[in-house]
Structure 1
Amino acid sequence: MSFCKYLTAASLATALSISIASAATFTIDPGKVTVSGKDFCPFADCELIGEVAGGSFDLDTVGQSASLDDLFNWEVLLSKPWATGVGAYDVSVNLNFSSPSDASAGGSGYAGFATLAGKISGGFLKWVSGSGTVDFADGYKLSYTLADATALGFGTETTTGASFTLEQTPAPVPLPASALLLIGGMGALGGLRARRNRKA
Structure 2
Amino acid sequence: MSFCKFLAAASFATALSVSVASAATFTIDPGDVTVSGSDFCFPGNCKLDGSIKGGSFDLDTVGATATLSDLFDWQVVTSSPWASGVGKYHVNATLNFSSPSPASTSGSGYAGFITLLGSVSGGVLAWTSGSGMVDFADGYRLSYSLKDALKLGFGTGTTTGATFTLEEVPAPVPLPASALLLLGGMGVLGGIRAKRHRTA
Same fold (TM over 0.5): yes
After superposition, the Cα gap between the structure-2 partners of 1:144 and 1:154, relative to the gap in structure 1 and judged at 3 Å, is same
1:136–1:21 CA distance, 2 compared to 1 (3 A): same
Counterpart position of 1:152: 152
Shift of 1:21: 1.5
CA contact (8 A) 2:9 2:184 kept: no
Q: Secondary structure at the match of 1:41?
A: strand
Does structure 1 retain, via aligned residues, the 8 Å contact 2:141–2:168?
yes
Mapped to 2, the partners of 1:100 and 1:10 lie a distance apart of 33
Shift in Å at residue 185 of structure 1?
A: 3.3
User: How do residues 47-66 of structure 1 correspond to structure 2 at under 5 angstroms?
Assistant: 47-66=47-66
- Point out which structure has higher relative CO (alpha carbons under 8 A, 6+ apart): 2
Structure 1 residues 9 and 159, CA gap change in structure 2 (3 angstroms)? farther
The residue that corresponds to 1:109 in the other structure is 109
Contact 2:14–2:177 under 8 Å retained in 1: no
Q: Deviations along 1:33-84, whole A, 9 cap, x unmatched?
A: 0000000002211000000000000001111110000000000001011110
Quick one: which amino acid aligns to residue 34 of structure 2? T
Whole-angstrom distance in 1 between the partners of 2:83 and 2:179: 72
Name the CA distance, whole Å, in 2 between partners of 1:11 and 1:185. Answer: 13
Q: 1:22 and 1:13 mapped to 2: Cα distance? A: 20
Partners of 1:166 and 1:183 lie apart in 2 by 37
Long gaps (5+) in structure 2: 193-200
Q: How many Å apart are 1:184 and its aligned residue?
A: 2.5
1:158-177 alignment, distance < 5 Å: 158-175=158-175
Taking the TM superposition and a 5 Å limit, the aligned residue runs for 1:49-198 are 49-175=49-175, 178-185=178-185, 188=188
How many residue pairs are counted as aligned between the two chains? 188
Alpha-carbon offset, residue 20 of structure 1: 1.8
1:19 counterpart SS class: coil
Q: Secondary structure at the match of 2:181?
A: helix
Q: Supply the distance in 1 between the matched residues of 2:75 and 2:160 (Cα, whole angstroms).
A: 11
SS in 1 for 2:42: coil
For the residue of structure 1 that corresponds to 2:142, the secondary structure is strand
* Runs (4+) off by over 4 Å: 7-11, 186-189
With normalisation by structure 2, the TM-score equals 0.85
- 1:69-104 CA-to-partner distances (Å, cap 9, x unmatched) read 000000000101111010000000100000000000
Gaps of 5+ in 1: 193-200
